[in-house]
């Protein structure tokens, strides 16, 4: 059974075969959007589409290795536009990679790959999609940032790409907002799929110590924020980064 907050809207979501991207695709479809999900795994993509359709939603899958090239981004935009029947109303730039690297030992190939996937891909995909949104009279772009863009941890390479995405969000809001395209971002905290109770504590639990939430969040929390930003309820929201992080960046809980 579908809801209506995104009824008659169309959406392209990258990195949609796992974790946050998958949750956003499912939630968008449940709210009435026609979704094109993109990812690298055809098997997981097929499973996602089957689940969405079984629940009454509309969705298609486009397998694509988004390597940061203009060609890959243009090809994805064109195929999504075809499958959606003429236009992408919502773009969610979610695809990303997170290698556990240290500055002194990061080779150039790894550096280039992380920036290609995490920064160049959303940049050139936005370049391919936003002008058509303007021509169609409007649209929505949602970028995925991260709490570690503002609260430093020793993961300089990945952190810097997420800092870039938050800066691009504000720059694109200035560039495209006056022409009808709203651009915002979500900054997730520590987010993991739910573990079975018998699995014990989650590896991310320690990162949330001293926060109001106290534990990692789940992908659904990010998906709910994405639905809000994509919906008409957020019509007056431009260039904003919404923290959905259990209070990680903004609050310190002091034990009594």
- Examine residue 67 and state whether it is found in any structural domain, yes or no: yes
Helix (H) or strand (E) holding 12: strand 10-13
CATH of the domain at 56: 3.40.50.720
pTM exceeds 0.85 for this model:
yes
Cα 185 to Cα 163: distance, rounded to the nearest angstrom: 11
- Examine residue 199 and state whether it is found in any structural domain, yes or no: yes
- Examine residue 255 and state whether it is found in any structural domain, yes or no: no
Q: Is 71 exposed, middle or buried (0-12, 13-18, 19+ CB in 10 A)?
A: exposed
DSSP 191: B
List per-residue pLDDT tens for the chain, 256 residues long: 457 999 999 999 999 999 999 999 999 999 999 999 999 999 999 999 999 999 999 999 999 999 999 999 999 999 999 999 989 999 999 999 998 889 999 999 999 999 999 999 999 999 999 999 999 999 999 999 999 998 888 889 999 999 999 999 999 999 999 999 999 999 999 998 765 555 566 667 788 888 898 889 999 999 999 999 999 999 999 999 999 999 999 998 875 5
- Number of domain units in the chain: 1
- Examine residue 131 and state whether it is found in any structural domain, yes or no: yes
The count of C-alpha atoms lying within 13 angstroms of the C-alpha of 158, restricted to the half-sphere facing its C-beta, is: 18
- Examine residue 1 and state whether it is found in any structural domain, yes or no: no
Cα 216 to Cα 187: distance, rounded to the nearest angstrom: 14
Closest C-alpha among 170, 167, 161, 247 to residue 210: 247
Helix (H) or strand (E) holding 104: none
pLDDT at 196: 55
Closest C-alpha among 155, 50, 44, 37 to residue 100: 155
Cβ neighbour number for residue 171 with a 10 Å cutoff: 12
- Examine residue 188 and state whether it is found in any structural domain, yes or no: yes
Expressed in percent and rounded to 5, the helix, strand and coil fractions of the chain are 45, 15, 40
Residue 182 belongs to domain spanning: 10-244
SS3 per residue for 31-95 = CCCEEEEEECCHHHHHHHHHHHHHCCCEEEEEECCCCCCHHHHHHHHHHHHHHCCCCCCEEEECC
SS3 per residue for 210-253 = CCCCCCCECHHHHHHHHHHHHCHHHCCCCCCEEEECCCCCCCCC
Tokens at residue 31, please?
A: 């709210």
pLDDT at 1: 46
- Examine residue 49 and state whether it is found in any structural domain, yes or no: yes
Phi, psi of 169 (to 5 degrees): -60, -50
Q: What positions carry a catalytic annotation?
A: 158
Cα 154 to Cα 225: distance, rounded to the nearest angstrom: 27
- Examine residue 113 and state whether it is found in any structural domain, yes or no: yes
């Amino acid at each position: 059974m579908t809801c209506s907050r995104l009824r008659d809207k169309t959406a392209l979501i990258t990195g949609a075969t796992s974790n946050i991207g998958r949750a956003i695709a499912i939630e968008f479809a449940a709210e009435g959007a026609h979704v094109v999900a993109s990812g690298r795994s055809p098997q997981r993509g097929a499973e996602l589409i089957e689940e969405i359709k079984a629940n009454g939603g509309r969705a298609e899958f486009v397998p694509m290795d988004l390597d940061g090239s203009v060609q890959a981004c243009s090809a994805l935009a064109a195929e999504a536009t075809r499958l959606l029947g003429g236009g992408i109303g919502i773009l969610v730039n979610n695809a990303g990679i997170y290698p556990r690297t240290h500055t002194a030992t990061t080779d150039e190939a790894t550096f280039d790959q992380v920036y290609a996937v995490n920064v160049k891909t959303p940049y050139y995909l936005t370049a391919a999609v936003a002008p058509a949104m303007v021509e169609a009279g409007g649209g929505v772009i949602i970028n995925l940032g991260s709490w570690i863009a503002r609260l430093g941890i020793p993961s300089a390479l990945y952190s810097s790409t997420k800092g870039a995405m938050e800066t691009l969000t504000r720059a694109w809001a200035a560039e495209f907002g006056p022409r009808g395209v709203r651009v915002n971002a979500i900054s997730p905290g520590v987010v993991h799929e739910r573990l079975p109770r018998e699995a014990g504590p989650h590896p991310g639990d320690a990162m949330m110590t001293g926060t109001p939430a106290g534990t990692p969040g789940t992908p659904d929390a990010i998906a709910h924020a994405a639905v809000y930003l994509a919906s008409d309820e957020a019509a007056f929201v431009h260039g904003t980064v919404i923290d959905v992080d259990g209070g990680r960046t903004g609050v310190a809980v002091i034990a009594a």
